[in-house]
Structure 1
Amino acid sequence: MPYPTFAGTMDILFHYFPQLTDHQRQLFQQLETEFRGWNERLNLVARTDVGNLAERHFLHSLGIAKVVEFAPGAAVLDVGTGGGLPGLPLAILFPEVKFHLVDSIGKKIHAVQEMARALHLVNLTAEQIRAEQLRPKYDYIVSRAVARLGTFHGWIAHRYKPRGTAAPGSGLYYLKGGDLTEEIKESGLPAKVVDLKDFFAEEFFETKKVVVVPNS
């Protein structure tokens, strides 16, 4: 696969997700502007990495969508969302899916709420709360590497809808990097690992993966 080149920052998203509507493209452009503004105040991602927002944060978040197609009307929980990743990009990509983003840091959740309001994302809510304190049930759970797999799964294992009522493919979609063999073995979970390098040509994705743990 030839290494693609992109004239503008968001072009990388448009290359890998050509099905995006004009409205979705505009939302991603707006998200970049909003995210940069909030990052100046709160350091949502390392300031040295702001130039790589599209590739290393937005596209990385959307890697989950290369592995699963969330069912319309389904509920997705994003745990430890920080500045809204992966939830904000996924909410733009799946406008008919309901997203609930949670984090224990209030100022980051405030930033997420304000970005969602600016983009008029009516399918997204954000709350300062720990996953273990939640009561609702969800079809899918997503996150970007906030803890070792076994530890993280313990926090969210009881947050799924019953398998009979959950959407197809219900389960955890966890963005992680590196060699996960030992971590998965330690967890004792029936995890499947999907390499993002199979979908994205950039060097950043060489070691990036989506760990899938079915809703059991």
Structure 2
Amino acid sequence: MNIEQFQQALEGKGITLSTQQLEQFETYYKLLVEWNEKMNLTAITDKEEVYLKHFYDSISASFYFDFNKPYHLCDVGAGAGFPSIPLKICFPNIQVSIVDSLNKRISFLDHLASSLNLTGVKFYHDRAETFAQKAEQRETYDIVMARAVARMSVLSELCLPLVKVDGTFIAMKAASANEEIEVGKKAIVTLGGKVEEVHSFSLPEEHSDRNIVIVKKIKNTPKKYPRKPGTPNKQPIE
């Protein structure tokens, strides 16, 4: 997907990018490739692939959820900033907090935000399990997102404790979403969530399957969750 195709595809979804926003994506790409030589940020470095599999793919959540309001969004395990930074470029009104366990990636994100002149962004070097137990973070976010981080039963425990009641957890998954949701149902309910919608589509050009799982937070998460770092992955609620 070249820049023109990227622009046109988004216009087809009602998102019109300004010259400045297109320049921000260009700078993002250049910095991603430059920093990737020093640290492992992504296996994808071909420009057209980055625009399709990272930028467009990240923004696809907005095809099914309206990001035009001044939401406070938390991105768990964002790595090189996906999906929240592409969404922030398209929807500057959202506030973004990113939690990542690797300090090198936080250094990249700091440099990226400064280079893109982004405001209303914060980066936290922490494990999701400990971050969500902090009183000032717990159940404070309108939206919590994660893309390709863990299976639903694990991901729900990392994300739902951060979502405020009546807020939304959005999981961006590949092809196995329906099986994962079935297995993860107990975890979602236990943690105070309810699956509202699952949107399935194919990524343009390469036609790989994608799923956007939208979970509503309907009640408070019990205080014991999330459990200690590593426990959700070793002993998922299933």
Instruction: Classify 1:48/1:94 alpha carbon distance in 2 versus 1 (closer, same or farther; 3 Å).
Output: closer
SS at match of 2:7: helix
> Share of identical aligned residues, percent?
27
Question: Which stretch has the larger CA shift, 45-54 or 128-137?
Answer: 45-54
Q: Which residue of 2 aligns with 1:146?
A: 149
Q: Tell me, what secondary structure is at the counterpart of 1:70?
A: coil
Report the Cα distance in structure 2 between the residues aligned to 1:47 and 1:202, rounded to whole angstroms.
16
Q: Is contact 1:36-1:50 (8 Å) kept?
A: no
Please give the root-mean-square deviation of Cα atoms over the aligned residues, in Å: 1.8
The answer for the alignment partner of 1:194 in structure 2 is 199
Shift of 1:126: 1.4
The whole-number CA distance in structure 2 between the counterparts of 1:129 and 1:10 is: 34
Q: For 1:149, give the aligned amino acid.
A: M
Structure 1 Cα separation of the partners of residues 175 and 89 of structure 2? 28
Q: Distance in 2 between matches of 1:70 and 1:51?
A: 25
Matched letter for residue 82 of structure 1: G
Structure with the higher fraction of residues in strand conformation: 2
Structure 1 residues not aligned, in runs of 5+? 1-5, 164-169
1:36 is aligned to 33
- Structure 2: which 5+ residue stretches go unaligned? 189-193, 219-238
Measured after TM superposition, the shift of residue 70 of structure 1 is 1.9
Would the alpha carbon gap of residues 37 and 48 (structure 1) be closer, same or farther in structure 2, given more than 3 Å must change? closer
Give the structure 2 partner of residue 63 of structure 1.
60
Aligned partner letter, 1:159:
L
94-103 or 30-39: which moved more?
30-39
Cα–Cα, structure 1 residues 160 and 71, in superposed 2: closer, same or farther, change >3 Å? farther
Contact 1:83 1:112 in 2 (8 A): yes
TM-score, length-normalised on structure 1? Answer: 0.85
How many residue pairs get aligned? The number is: 200
User: One-letter code of the match for 2:163?
Assistant: Y
Change (3 A) 1:160 1:47: closer
The one of 5, 16, 37 aligned to 1:12:
5
The alignment partner of 2:199 has SS state of: strand
Contact 2:160 2:169 in 1 (8 A): no
1:157 aligned residue = 160
Q: How does 1:40-119 map to 2 (within 5 A)?
A: 40-46=37-43, 52-119=49-116
Confirm or deny: 8 A CA contact 1:13 1:54 kept in the other structure: yes
* Residue identity opposite 1:32 in structure 2: Y
Q: 2:206 is matched with which residue?
A: 203
Alpha-carbon distance, 1:138 to partner: 0.3
Contact 1:39 1:47 in 2 (8 A): no
Counterpart AA for 1:207: D
| Partner Cα distance (1:43, 1:158) in 2 | 29
Paired residue type of 2:160? A
